[in-house]
Amino acid sequence: MSLPDAPPTDATPAPATPRAPAGARPAPACTLVIFGAHGDLTKRLLMPALYNLAGSGLLYPGFRIIGVDRVASTTAQWRDGLTAMMQSFTHDPNAEFHAPSIDSKQWGWVCERLEYVQADFGDLAQVRALGEKIPGNAIFYLAVSSRFFAPVVEMLGRAGLVTQTDGHFRRVVIEKPFGADLASARELNRRILAVLDESQVYRIDHFLGKETVQNILAMRFGNLLFEPLWRNEFIDHVQITAAETIGVEQRGAFYEPTGALRDMIPNHLFQLFGMVAMEPPNSFSADTVRTSKEQLFEAVRPIPPTDAVRGQYGAGTVEGKPVIAYRESPGVAPDSHTETYVALKLHVDNWRWAGVPFYLRTGKSLGGRRTEVVVQFKKPPMMMFRDTETQELPPNRIILNIQPAQGLTVEMGAKRPGPKMDLAEVQVRFRYEDVFAQSPNVGYETLLYDCLTGDATLFQRADNIEAAWRAVDPVLKAWAGNADGLELYPAGATGPKGADELLERDGRAWYPLDGV
């Protein structure tokens, strides 16, 4: 398929499949400046998200996109490369954004607003020259390596590009990882907040852009059925899982100094934990919601190393395909002790959750791919069925399915047909695709729109970030520079044996990866 050049029109395109929520309006006129224009994040995630926002009618006609990078290129060359990437998504079922076709008018509207600027963000004169292209509102998106976050923000400050005047906003979007431990996160916050006000900083975690993650709040606080049971009187424990079948592939050089804990726990899994366990906020305003999360994170008892398990995958088979060991991957040391799997038990010291353990696990090259939250309830206080065919019922569970299944599953007991009282476990399921029309998306659409409209509800505040790092800091320090306790597990397994033992010593077991 060949897409034509952008049509010379300033009208917002009508969406091929309307997706705009009721009452949503186009975001105000703004220039989106993307540092790292030639990077993978820009090509695979940001551009598809902008394409979808354009199709939803949520971008103002005056919206502009300036890509900034050191790579020698022209606007036409950058646009052509992005177009080729968008075309490739139509025949790549494994892409984050997979669509049967690309609407030429919709993509053309985006292309017309693209401009490429070759610049070194370490060069003050070049950054100041960039500012001459940005009148009015602006958002600076740092799609660059984390080591450049503070230097870019400081250069924007020196160039005067983040000063808010004449009623115009200037905001900065910062990707993860935000720091590598508590000390570095604090230092990064210090440097950024020396230039920007907290209200200008949007620390993004794309997990929060997923409809199924946002649905946790809708489920808890929009239905009286659930929230009265959401406490230690009724809940036995909670499991949060983010299991991947893929390994590190060609990303060994990035993953080697990072590991599963830094990559997933203080951000993705803690965000799911926050949605599940925070106290009901007084309103849905950004600061109120984020304050509820911060209070929860502050109540997490620092995790002792004895409540943490780490593993690394060896050679094996995943989904019928052979997988080489992590240590044989490009960019990985042959004696690496970087963990590709981590399981933790954490406790929350507040009235709602006292005595309820939360078990978190994440890993690569596992036997199943799923992100989910399993809320397991206590057993009934009296087994009135003890003199029947039913000796012991399995516990009730609510399973929040994030991906690949999207929705909610309730596991409960029901009478088996027949003359005798015999109960069986049944599942009641809700799936998004069965109820709502869905369009291809990458999870960044909502987050970009919220940033454009100034809604920081789904973005992390400085205190949220530091509280999450504080909880895992004892584990990071214990694991630093040594391989003590690192367990090897074969690719395609459910993880190291120590992860099972972590729950077994409490008389519990992980929900199976081949479950719902």
Q: What is the pLDDT of residue 51?
A: 96
206 labelled as ligand-binding?
yes
CA distance 104 to 83: 10
User: How is residue 513 written in tokens?
Assistant: 């990866």
Q: What is the pLDDT of residue 439?
A: 74
Predicted TM-score of the model (pTM): 0.91
Backbone region of residue 381 per phi and psi (left: phi > 0; alpha: psi in -120 to 50; beta: other values): alpha
Examine the residue annotation and report whether 91 is marked as an active-site residue of this protein. no
328 labelled as ligand-binding?
no
User: How is residue 79 written in tokens?
Assistant: 């646009």
Q: What is the pLDDT of residue 10?
A: 42
CA distance 277 to 298: 12
Band of residue 385 on the pLDDT scale cut at 50, 70, 90:
low
Question: Cα 5 from chain centroid?
Answer: 34
Q: Give the model confidence (pLDDT) of 257-316 as tens digits.
A: 999 999 999 999 999 999 999 999 999 899 999 999 999 999 999 999 999 999 999 999
Determine which one of 91, 268, 337, 347 is catalytic. Answer: 268
pLDDT value at 20 more than 70: no
More confident of the two residues 503 and 177:
503
43 labelled as ligand-binding?
no
**Weakest mean pLDDT among 2-11, 154-163, 294-303:** 2-11
What is the average pLDDT value for the chain, to the nearest integer?
Answer: 91
pLDDT value at 1 more than 90: no
The arrangement of secondary structure in 30-175, i.e. its CATH architecture, is: 3-Layer(aba) Sandwich (3.40)
Q: What is the pLDDT of residue 389?
A: 55
| C-beta separation of 155 from 127 below 8 A | yes
Q: What is the pLDDT of residue 14?
A: 40
Q: Give the model confidence (pLDDT) of 112-127 as tens digits.
A: 999 999 999 999 999 9
Q: What is the pLDDT of residue 279?
A: 96
Question: Cα 407 from chain centroid?
Answer: 17
Give the helix ranges, DSSP H, for 113-249: 124-131, 149-158, 182-193, 211-221
3-state helix vs strand vs coil in the chain, percent to 5 = 35, 20, 45
Q: What is the CATH number of domain 208-440+461-505?
A: 3.30.360.10
pLDDT value at 7 more than 60: no
Band of residue 3 on the pLDDT scale cut at 50, 70, 90:
very low
Q: What is the pLDDT of residue 413?
A: 83
Q: Name the one residue in this structure whose structure tokens are 């610049």.
A: 119
Q: What is the pLDDT of residue 250?
A: 86
pLDDT value at 378 more than 80: yes
Question: What contacts 87, CB < 8 A, 6 or more positions away?
Answer: 1, 3, 102
- CA distances, 57 to each of 52, 94, 243, 440, 442 (Å): 9, 27, 35, 16, 17
Q: What is the DSSP letter of 300?
A: B
Band of residue 497 on the pLDDT scale cut at 50, 70, 90:
very high
**Weakest mean pLDDT among 1-5, 253-257, 268-272, 321-325:** 1-5
120 labelled as ligand-binding?
yes
- Provide the residue ranges of all domains of the chain, joining segments of one domain with +: 30-175, 208-440+461-505
**Weakest mean pLDDT among 9-13, 54-58, 223-227:** 9-13
Q: What is the pLDDT of residue 387?
A: 59
